[in-house]
Amino acid sequence: MSRNSILMRKILLLTFFILLPVWFVQAGDTLWVKQTRIPILTDRIDNALFYIRIDAKEVEKLTELKLEFSESANLDEVESLKLYYGGTEAVQRKGQAFYYPVQYLSGFAPGKTREANPSYSVKIIEQKSPGSEVIFSTDYPLFPGINYFWISIQMSSNTSLLSKIDVKLVSAKLDDRNAPLSFANSPQTHRMGVGVRHAGDDGVAAFRIPGLVTSNKGTLLGVYDVRYNNSVDLQEHIDIGLSRSTDKGQTWEKMRIPVSFDEYGGLPKSQNGVGDPSILVDKKTGTVWIAALWTHGMGNYRAWHNSQAGMDEKRTGQLVLTKSSDDGKTWSEPINITSQVKDPSWHLLLQGPGMGINMQDGTLVFPIQFIDSTGIPNAGIMYSKDSGQTWKIHYPARTNTTEAQVAEVEPGVLMLNMRDNRGGSRAVSITRDLGKTWEEHPSSRSVLQEPVCMASLIKVDAGENVLGKDILLFSNPNTTEGRHHITIKASLDGGLSFPGEYQVLLDEDPGWGYSCLTLIDRETVGILYESSVAHMTFQAVKLRDIIKQTGL
């Protein structure tokens, strides 16, 4: 063997032994990182930003994590970053790739939704008023096997809902040596939100079924079920709640109760529930209407199955309205319109929850759903030509459908977008004569996927938005199974397509999944929805963030 060959062999062996510890770290002790795609709530002390998984085979300590904010981040709005230790993994889940052993933050536990549960994680270090670069220096001991950490962010209470945060985990050290990072997803832009209603607020167990409109004065009016005892549907102790915002959703006033039947007829409150609200603004008069289902009696079982044929309140659910003439501050006594619109053979009639519309000719329209004499649900519309004094229903759009939303896609042309019990995708129909006749839209059962859930649809006219385009906006859980990945989608071709480049994902984690959209101003859309982080979450999104197209 030549002298050069011997020298090269020695160099290779020396290099191998020098790099051996690093190789062991790379092979067995990688940091597996998942960046969240959930709302950052400005009213939360903790918001999950990164989840970290370390399989400690060769190393003993986590010694450093380094993060970097983008130049566009407004660091004055960032209150603090925290590093938490989440503990170890169960042998039972060996071989499965999880990023946390338990949910550190709950969106559903009453009174425990705004900060990390101290039972589930240990705060290691906190960096207040961070700069563009954040280094967590710690010698935190690792348990043999899998270890979980997570990074929390807290925003200042006056953070703009239009702010966005881009931050990256750029490096890590184990036993004071650089460790490899493996990312489960690409870097994410984090959007702000506010928890309008959290589990446990005002002593209430759950808030469900959002509706949202913008009044003639620009006030945001959000309605929802106030479910005092638990999260189940009617029949239960449920009232209609309302929250107002006069600053485009940045802050919200104390909850009001527009509709409650208390102990009507001597029955308990749990047998006088009223829920599933839909809200509508009469643009001509400024009057705001809420439609709701009141159920009287029926024991304490689900009204959907226990409401019967007939008209009397003791046999069948009642469709009631309430109205406000002062921008949602005070509300009338309930107005029962069941006798105007219900067929006596139907088992149940109620509104499609969410929102109704004011057509260009002044007609008021609420989506509706009913269970017919055979027990099959149907979706359709009801309308008023006299500013809400009288209401009519013609025919359903499609059988075996329930919660629907309606939009005027052309003058006099209504599109009904329906939850379809067949599953997989949304049903869509068109009427040109207020429901006397219906035709299936080309997008029906093919374009908008769904897991069988309520959704939202609004039409934004070209003259009302900064893009100068007629836009259809749609939101729902963008899946076919499970209620997660709440997404806003846009269509510029009348609902024939909702291209992938015209979409914004808001929340990838599981929740109840209902949502409602409204146009806040010419540039911004608002959404009130059942998120993974709060029962009623509000976010504001720029139209240009949804519709990303050169030249618009």
Residue tagged active-site, from 64, 89, 236, 403: 403
- The 3-state secondary structure of 328-345 reads CCCCCCCEECHHHHCCCC
Stretch (H or E) spanning 458 = strand 456-460
- CA atoms 204, 454, 485, 246: torsion sign: negative
Residue reference for tokens 């009057």: 287
CA dihedral of residues 89, 95, 98, 102 (deg, nearest 10): -30
Per DSSP, the three-state class of 75 is helix
Show the tokens assigned to 4: 């050069």
Amino acid type, 261 = F
CA separation for the pair 207, 201 (Å, rounded): 9
Count Cβ neighbours within 10 Å for each residue of 96-106 and write b for 16 or more, e otherwise: eeebbbeebbb
Whether residue 360 is preceded by a cis peptide bond, meaning omega within 30 degrees of 0, is no
Which residue matches tokens 């809902």?
Answer: 161
403 is catalytic: yes
C-alpha separations of 16 from 3, 11, 290, 531 in Å: 20, 9, 74, 51
| Gyration radius of the chain over CA positions | 27
Q: Tokens representing 107?
A: 């969106």
Q: Does residue 507 contact residue 531 with C-beta atoms inside 8 Å? A: yes
Sign of CA dihedral 129, 134, 137, 143: positive
Distance of alpha carbon 200 from alpha carbon 207, whole angstroms: 9
Read off the DSSP letter of residue 94.
T
Distance CA(103)–CA(120), nearest Å, equals: 8
Q: In residues, how long is the chain?
A: 552
Beta strands in 411-454 (DSSP E): 413-420, 424-425, 427-431, 439-440, 449-450
Which segments of 446-550 are extended strands (E)? Answer: 449-450, 456-460, 471-477, 486-491, 503-507, 515-521, 524-529, 536-542
- CA-CA distance, 320 to 260, in Å (whole number)? 11
Residue 45 contacts residue 111 (beta carbons within 8 Å): no
72: amino acid identity, one letter: S
Residues 6 or more apart in contact with residue 173 via CB below 8 angstroms: 62, 63, 64, 65, 179
Residues annotated as catalytic are 403
